[in-house]
Amino acid sequence: MKNILVLFSHPKFEKSRANAILVDKIKDKEGVTFHDLYERYPDFNIDVEAEKALMSAHDIIIFHHPFYWYSCPPLMKQWIDVVLEFGWAYGPNGTALQSKKCLNVITTGGSRELYCSQGSNSYSVTEFLRPFEQTANLCGMQYLPPFAVMGTHKIEIEELHTYAEQYDSLLDVLQQNLKRTDVRGFSFINDIPQLQTTDKI
């Protein structure tokens, strides 16, 4: 079974609706380390060595965050800046993360339809997530398509619970070693056949 590290960052988690439900579902799951960055580093003073050790101990890294201004909250960016060190994560001898898998789990206010060239957000989620994808590539990690809960401004609670179930199943699938070919052609990992139950979202 693969170990999963969920790097969660949300500057106002106590007010969040969607993330509260998602996190609640998976935070105590076996084989999953839930790491709440804003709770651990309220002063942005990230303990780099501790974070590196944590990364090394896991096979799959999930960047779980709300999609603020088409990116992650600032502490997560800080985390990426300081933890993915030159000579450790990338560059000469920077092989610590080789062949780990990584993906983003995001929540967006706008719905999926708005993220396209005709929509008000002009670009797709995949395009907005290019920096994460390339960061993963540079560190030798396999980047998987994102798990996205979209349109959270209007979503019903029941539907959020369905998403949480799906998130939970996704972690199961990841723990059982998902192959790269399984996700080929999907923009969202939500859509892979393994996560489709009879009552489709």
Partner 1 sequence: MTGSILFEAIVFLLGAIICVSIAKRLGLSSVLGYLLAGVLIGPYVLGFIGNEGDDILHFAEFGVVMMLFLIGLEIEPKNFWKMRKTIVGMGGLQVAATMLLSYFLFILFGFDKTVALTLAMATALSSTAIALQTIKEKGLLNTNFGQSSFSILLFQDIIVIFMLGALPLLANTDEPAIEHGNEHANLLQNLPLGLQTLAILVSVVVIVVAGKYLIVPMLRKVAKTGVRELLIAAALLIVFGISFLMELVGLSPALGAFLGGVVLSNSEFKHELESTLEPFKNLLLGLFFMAVGASINFIVIANSPLTVGGILLAVIVLKALVLFITGSVFKLKLNQKLLLTFGLAQIGEFAFVLLSFAFQLNILEQDQMDMMLVVTALTMTFTPIIGMVNERLLLPRLGTKESIKRPMDHIAKSQKVILVGFGHFGSTVGRFLRTHGVEATILDHDSNRVDFLRKMGFEVYYGDATRTDLLESAGIAEANILICAMDNPDVIKQLAKTVKDKYPQVKIMVRAKNRYVAYEFLNMEIDHIYRESLETSLKLASEVLSQMGFRKYTLQRQAQNFIKYDEDSLRRLAKEGQIGDDNYIFKARKELEQQEKLLEQDFKRGIVEFDSHWDSEQIRVALENPDT
The window from 85-93, 99-107, 138-146, 187-195 that contacts partner 1 (CB under 8 A) reads 85-93
Identity of the residue, 13 or 188, whose beta carbon is nearer to partner 1 in the bound complex: 13
159 binding partner 1? (CB under 8 A) = no
CB of 9 to partner 1, least distance (A): 18
For the stretch 124-133, contacts whose Cβ atoms lie closer than 8 Å and that sit 24 or more positions apart, written own/partner, are 124/187, 125/67, 125/150, 125/187, 125/188, 126/187, 128/67, 128/70, 128/71, 129/104, 131/71, 132/63, 132/72, 132/102, 132/104
Residue 185 touches partner 1, criterion: CB under 8 A:
no
In whole angstroms, how close is the CB of 117 to partner 1 at the nearest point?
Answer: 35
Residue 158 binds to partner 1 (criterion: CB under 8 A): no
Nearest distance from C-beta of residue 50 to partner 1, angstroms: 12
Interface with partner 1, residue 85, by CB under 8 A: yes
Q: Cβ closer to partner 1: 93 or 120?
A: 93
- Least distance (Å) between residue 180 CB and partner 1: 29
24 near partner 1, rule: CB under 8 A: no
Is position 49 an interface residue for partner 1 (rule: CB under 8 A)?
Answer: no
CA distances from 67 to 54, 92, 109, 146 (A): 24, 32, 8, 12
Out of 24, 39, 81, 113, the residue judged to bind partner 1 by CB under 8 A: 81
Please, what is the minimum distance in Å from the beta carbon of residue 68 to partner 1? 21
Q: CB–CB of 185/44 below 8 Å?
A: no
Residues 98-157 that bind partner 1 (CB under 8 A): none
Residue 45 interacts with partner 1 (CB under 8 A): yes or no: yes
Number of residues located near partner 1, criterion CB under 8 A: 10
Residues that bind partner 1 (CB under 8 A): 43, 45, 81-82, 84-87, 91-92
